[in-house]
A = this chain, B = another copy of it.
């Protein structure tokens, strides 16, 4: 019998197996963009662990499109997915949470109601601010992504708390929203140049954004770091190539832990430690 099976090169029909078992051994991962270093690392960590545990990864780049995200939530409900890891979300948590009835959902940012593994943006940002303040900086700018997002809020809180400590107010003209790409970083610097009112240091929300600022600073002959200090985010190859001071969030580990929570049905909150990588784009004033 076994021989015949082998001779015929028989393989089970997977949809039938999935139907009967009620599970598919596939995990959905929701990210906004495939080509962002942060999400690459997280997904890389997830994939590695998924591989070890016989799971497949259905990868969903939503571009922050709500409908597209909903499609994946629905796939969980419709039993095509055994679970979901949400790296960044387009819909409100209120619309996402009901889907936990249909399978485990893990978040890669802090949410009260969900198991999650997250970098402590607040603490990280505080620590980076302490660093530049200790270096004598008082006129501090920073970049952020979507204005309402969790990390943006954390950045702002840390920023306010931090500047209060040194009796400095927050200057709205130095918080730069909607920064994602190198071009966005260029634009930030270009605008600053036109207005002629520079901070002494800018904390970027990604190495690419930082790189954009560096490139455009060069265009205008602004010396880094003596005239303007810059700190990146992600510790990507780019930051090393540019000798850019940056912060490593250990994103791959975030992905690994997220899979761990999913796989073992754990309802925990795991904080991933960060690390400031000091290189040569911050000067002492």
Contacts and interface: CB of A to CB of B under 8 A. Distances in A.
B56 A57 contact: no
Q: How many copies does the complex hold?
A: 2
Contact of A47 (B13, B26, B34, B79): B34
Nearest to A56: B58
A11 B73 CA distance: 12
Given A215-B240, A237-B208, A237-B238, A14 B80 contact: yes
A242 B13 CA distance: 51
A44 interface: yes
Contact of A35 (B12, B19, B41, B78): B41
Contact of A15 (B11, B15, B51): B15
B11 A19 contact: no
Contacts of A215: 240-241
B26 A19 contact: no
A182 B58 CA distance: 29
Interface in A80-104: 80
Interface of A: 11-16, 18-19, 24, 26, 33-35, 37, 40-41, 43-44, 47, 51, 56-61, 68, 74-75, 77-80, 181-182, 208, 211-212, 214-215, 237-238, 240-242
